[in-house]
Amino acid sequence: MSVSRRSLFVLPIAAFAARGAGAQEAAAPAVIQQLYDALLGVMKQAKALGFDGRYARLAPVIERVFDLGLMARIAVGPTWPQIPPAQQQALTQAFIRFTVSQYSGRFDGYGGERFEVDPTTQANPNGLVVQSRLVPSSGEATTLNYLMHRGAGGAWQVIDVYLKGTISELATRRSEFAGVLQSSGPDGLVRTLDQRAAALRAG
């Protein structure tokens, strides 16, 4: 169920297919639950941990749950094969730092929120979709859906996040990255990602 080479750069944002079933798919929602358990633990200790403490707690979880190497390649788009290996590695590491910084900066407190993970899944040409919601103590819940595939070792890993259920985070990233790559090249994108990570750390 891995993503084919051709499909790396054409992940769909459109509607998902019918629900999947079976024991092997049950593992995918469990991965998202592990992510949420880690986030809740960090949120409840956010002030004591500070940004660096949250980063240290979340980094190993996020790097396990997300296939960040593949996500970096998808976000860069079709020009990835033309980038020299050393710059590919630098881009991947910058993308990882930026992603972990995003979660460390976003989840900086706890106000009674909870996460709900749908135990069923939806089939998708690139794997499975796990549906979830962030439910505040008051107000409207936010839908967060995760596109997952079989990563290294056969484990389910996230390769895209759909905000409000339909907005592909990677499609947004690719649009942002395209302009930077065109004007400043891979090294410029590394600098941009590190600057954004630093800004998140600074609050």
Cβ pair 96, 194 in contact under 8 A = no
Structure tokens at 30: 């469990």
pLDDT of residue 23: 53
- Helix, coil or strand: residue 149: strand
pLDDT > 60? residue 7:
no
Cβ pair 115, 135 in contact under 8 A = yes
At 100, the pLDDT band (50, 70, 90 cuts) reads: very high
Q: Which residues contact 164 (CB under 8 A, 6 or more apart)?
A: 142, 143
At 2, the pLDDT band (50, 70, 90 cuts) reads: very low
- The structure's pTM equals 0.86
CA dihedral 190, 147, 167, 176 (to 10 degrees): 10
pLDDT of residue 153: 85
Report, as an integer, the average pLDDT of 7-34: 60
pLDDT > 50? residue 87:
yes
- Helix, coil or strand: residue 142: strand
Smallest Cα–Cα separation from 168: which of 1, 13, 52? 13
For a pLDDT cut of 90, what percent of the chain falls above it? 82
pLDDT > 70? residue 36:
yes
Cβ pair 198, 189 in contact under 8 A = no
pLDDT of residue 139: 84
pLDDT tens for 152-200 read 889 999 999 999 888 999 999 999 999 999 999 999 999 999 999 999 9
